[in-house]
Amino acid sequence: MHQYWFWIGHFPVRAYSTIFAAAFLLGLGAVLYFARADGKSEYVPHFWNMAPGLLIGGLVGARFWQVFFFDWPYYRQNPAEIPAIWHGGLSIQGGVTGAFLVALWYVWRHRLDLWVMADIVAPGLLLGQSIGRDANLMNGDAFGDPTHHDFGLLYPEGTLARMTYGDQPLWPAEVWEGQADVILFALLLILKQRRWPKGFLFAYYLVAYNAVRFLLEMLRGDSPRYLFHWDAAQWTAAPLVLAGLVLAVYVFWRDRRRTPSPAETAERPGEPD
């Protein structure tokens, strides 16, 4: 864990900010690659056009979620920290929501196919999220609860994890989530080898990522707990898993309605061979 790479005069070059930027750029690169690889090159200019808006919408959504859903008691006492995104505190779920709202507006304005674009974006989301968890590790946030054993992550002085739990070993929740994202990314590449209804790959992302997130949040130690001892991320993940399942059922139902049955495709009586 290393919060600063180096200093330029009095200006710190932070690990969190640079890794976050790398996560966004590499995620965007994956999206552009898969758009071309999937034969959807006509969408590439649109992704370039959307990129600044997605970044801004993602940042706003990520910070909004973190401040008002995840850690409002802290920010209520420290309002000057609300705009300080360079200190960490960006919610993945809020970022995806903010970027999705920007994408909805862009797709509506340009009359594009939302679900085709969502399927193209899904691998880039998982790749970017995995790299983003490295930013959390380097910054010492998004940390786990104490393991109460002689194994776990030990955070250095100056990190929020150290200030919260001292020298206790903590569950590597953010590390495991980043590794899980890599596995989900690999499984998605396998799924892409065959044809699926439009929207299914994005539904896979919603269900798989949020199910993993829900489980790993049980090990987190940096967020308040609410009803059922769930934190805000779990209360966000549960409805998103449900939304992904509903979307998967819908896209298969829609695809089945649009696929002609054998009887419909059979040659009609009286038509020439």
Element (H, E) at 204: helix 200-216
Q: Spell out the residues 6+ positions from residue 170 whose beta carbon is closer than 8 angstroms to its own.
A: 143, 144, 145, 146, 147, 152, 153, 154, 155, 161, 221
Element (H, E) at 2: none
- How far is CA 43 from each of CA 10, 30, 118, 201, rounded to the nearest angstrom? 42, 13, 11, 17
Q: Is 109 annotated as a binding residue?
A: no
Spatial CA neighbour of 210 closest among 189, 187, 188, 233: 233
Binding site per annotation, positions: 133
